[in-house]
Amino acid sequence: MASSSDLTPPAGNAPDGPAGPAVPARRGRVRLRRAAVMAVPAAAVTAGLAILTAQGALGVQFAISGMPFTVTATELDGKGFAQFGGLDNMAEGSPNAGDTGGQVLVVTSVIKEATLTKLCQSVDLGGTNLLITAGGGDRKVSAVDLTTDSTELSGDAAFDNIEIGNDASTLDKAGPKGRGPIGVFSQQADTVRIEKLRQTNYATTAGVFKLPGLKMRFSDSGC
């Protein structure tokens, strides 16, 4: 499984310089972020496992917030797997851009049909975490056209009939949404199984996403 370094923007204040005023401290936006989270709980619930639809060289069809979130699962099983590089963009003027220029280099993973056991997602809001859990025991989380944009991915992985080094525009095992931009290195497989999954993600979409036993709460610790 390919991965890349977490590009989370640095926190803290810096003095004004020739390039302009300093970026505000991350903790200075804690209350605003909490208010945004409470205003759109449905959006947070839908972001169980980072998922996006690939569109050209961009990983998502929307501007990302620039706030990374952690996703873990004791086990992920998928049919129809594709993976390639992409670039996600924040909204213009986002306070989370830092020195990234508002862009995050990501690894996009697409799974046509996926199930996950003991899913956990957490977002660090600065002093507290929004924690989402679902899918324990026989009641697994399931998704169709599951796509994740990650800066870090780890676990114990196994693939069936894997192909490595494809042009991303020619991928066909994960369906139309599993195709990436032309000229980009990629890989695909008939099936994927990852135990002890852990991801750092920036965005998510899915055609269908079912989360049995869903619980959402604030917590001192994340996943």
Tens digits of per-residue pLDDT, 101-149?
999 999 999 999 999 999 999 999 988 999 999 998 789 999 999 999 9
Tens digits of per-residue pLDDT, 67-82?
999 999 999 999 999 9
pLDDT of amino acid 60: 56
Do residues 127 and 222 touch, judged by C-beta distance below 8 A?
no
Report the 10 Å Cβ neighbour count for 171.
26
Q: What is the DSSP string of 130-199?
A: EEEEE--TT--EEEEEEEEEEEEEEEEEEEES-EEEEEGGG--TT-GGG---TT-EEEEEEEEEEEEEEE
More confident residue, 137 or 172: 172
Q: Which candidate, 76, 68, 70, 118, places its Cα nearest to that of 221? A: 70
> Which of 17-31, 84-98, 175-189 has the lowest average pLDDT?
17-31
| CB-based contacts of 9, cutoff 8 Å, min separation 6 | 23, 26, 66, 96, 97, 98, 99, 100
pLDDT above 90 covers a percentage of the chain that reads 67
Global pTM reads: 0.73
pLDDT of amino acid 61: 67
Taking the C-alpha atoms of residue 121 and residue 49, their distance in angstroms, rounded to an integer, is 7
